[in-house]
């Protein structure tokens, strides 16, 4: 076993409930108790977050997430999906890049968008700083 639970899953050293995989990525059911149908998509190569992710792994995660999302809507009766990820160390539960894929249904009551504070700087200032 390694220090990374997702690497353990990728290498077959830890169990998972596999949904689908590609050469460079895996999608499996999260062991987190909330919410129902919570899936994770991870690159098979260990990278901490999107900031150090190689283009091939990032593309593989995105393509697999899209393929599973289409399956969830077309074959499983969901109405859409939410994708969530963070590259902020204090917020990352596992230091291995991953995307949370949450199947959605009309009226499911999920509020997956964080309550964000009001803007404290002018819009143009934010725009200039992030260009």
- Residues involved in catalysis: 98
- Per-residue 3-state assignment (H helix, E strand, C coil) for the chain: CCCCHHHHHHCCCCCCCEEEECCCEEEEECCCCCCCCCEEEEECCCCCCHHHCCHHHHHHHHHHHHHHHHHHHHHHCCCEEEEECCCCCCCCCCCCCCEEEEEECCCCCCCCCCCCCCCCCCHHHHHHHCC
């Amino acid at each position: 076993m390694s220090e990374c639970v997702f690497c353990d899953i990728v290498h077959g050293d830890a169990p998972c409930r596999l949904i689908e995989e590609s050469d460079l990525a895996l999608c499996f059911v999260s062991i987190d108790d909330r919410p129902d149908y919570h899936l994770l998509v991870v690159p098979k190569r260990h990278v901490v977050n999107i900031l150090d992710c190689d283009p091939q792994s990032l593309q593989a995660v995105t393509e697999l997430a899209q393929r599973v999302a289409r399956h969830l809507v077309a074959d499983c009766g969901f109405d859409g999906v939410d994708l969530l990820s963070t590259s902020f160390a204090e917020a990352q539960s596992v230091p291995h890049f991953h995307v949370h894929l949450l199947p959605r249904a009309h009226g499911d009551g999920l509020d997956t968008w964080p309550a964000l504070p009001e803007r404290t700087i002018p819009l143009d200032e934010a725009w200039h700083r992030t260009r």
